[in-house]
């Protein structure tokens, strides 16, 4: 399952996993965006759920779809995210209250409460894994990134606790600067042609979804380290990718 599957890194994840043989549940608010994500993929590879994960109704809709599809998840990737204000207007002394709550809800609270809904399905999975898309400004707080930075730091802490108490595999992946609409909104003066595309950073996400991935639970990894590399490098020969 991939959240945020209607655009950007989430869309690339859905398409990459499906192209490599997975059956994927793609979740996002935009039904139109999800349809565009699934377009052209093999029939039956992608099941879409249009849902607002900041609501109990939306999270239950996802869990219900998973149950209808057999009730088992091997991998959940939390790629949905909200940016909120950045730059001088995001200084903590003036950060707006509505954006504060909204960004935290999307980037952290929704992840936690969705996990509660799907944990039983993950418990039935094969070498189950939770992968969350973090951020450079989540690894180290940065001024004028406001709640985006704070919420990603909180997400890192949530992953640490989960890795300590849950028997499955837990990974934090920092994509680094990537050519997405969110990145363009945050840094409009940046030349997008200097950045890797979402498709470029897929190797590490593919690798971590493999049941034989050797990376230890709790690892904090950087997707850029795997650009251009074989995601199956060093994995058990003959393993199901």
> Which one of the listed residues 17, 95, 101, 148 is annotated catalytic?
148
Residue 148 known to be catalytic: yes
Greatest alpha-carbon pair distance for the chain in Å reads 56
Report whether 138 contacts 155 (CB < 8 A): yes
Q: Tokens 């991935």 label which residue?
A: 213
* C-alpha–C-alpha distance, residues 223 and 176, integer Å: 7
In whole angstroms, give the CA distance from residue 239 to residue 200: 23
Rounded alpha-carbon distances, angstroms, from residue 42 to 13, 17, 24, 39, 179:
15, 12, 11, 9, 26
Cβ atoms 187, 148 nearer than 8 A: no
First to last CA, the chain: 16
**Which residues have C-beta within 8 Å of that of residue 142, sequence separation ≥ 6?**
136, 149
Residues involved in catalysis:
148
């Amino acid at each position: 399952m991939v959240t945020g599957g209607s655009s950007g890194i989430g869309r690339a994840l859905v398409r990459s996993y499906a192209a490599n043989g997975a059956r994927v549940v793609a979740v996002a608010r935009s039904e139109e965006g999800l349809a565009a994500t699934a377009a052209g993929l093999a029939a039956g590879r992608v099941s879409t759920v249009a849902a607002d994960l900041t609501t109990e109704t939306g999270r239950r809709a996802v869990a219900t779809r998973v149950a209808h599809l057999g009730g088992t998840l091997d991998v959940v990737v939390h790629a949905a995210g909200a940016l909120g204000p950045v730059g001088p207007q995001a200084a903590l002394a003036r950060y707006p209250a509505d954006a504060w709550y909204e960004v935290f809800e999307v980037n952290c609270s929704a992840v936690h409460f969705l996990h509660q809904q799907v944990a039983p399905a993950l418990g039935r999975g094969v070498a189950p894994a939770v992968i969350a898309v973090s951020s450079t400004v989540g690894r180290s707080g940065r001024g004028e990134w406001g709640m985006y930075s704070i919420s990603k730091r909180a997400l890192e802490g949530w992953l640490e606790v989960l890795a300590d108490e849950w028997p499955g595999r837990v990974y934090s992946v920092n994509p680094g600067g990537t050519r997405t609409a969110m990145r363009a909104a945050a840094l409009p003066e940046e030349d997008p042609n200097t950045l890797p595309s979402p498709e470029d950073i897929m190797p590490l996400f593919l690798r971590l979804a493999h049941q034989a991935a050797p990376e230890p639970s709790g690892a904090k990894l950087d997707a850029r380290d795997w650009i251009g590399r074989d995601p199956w490098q060093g994995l058990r020969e003959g393993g199901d990718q």
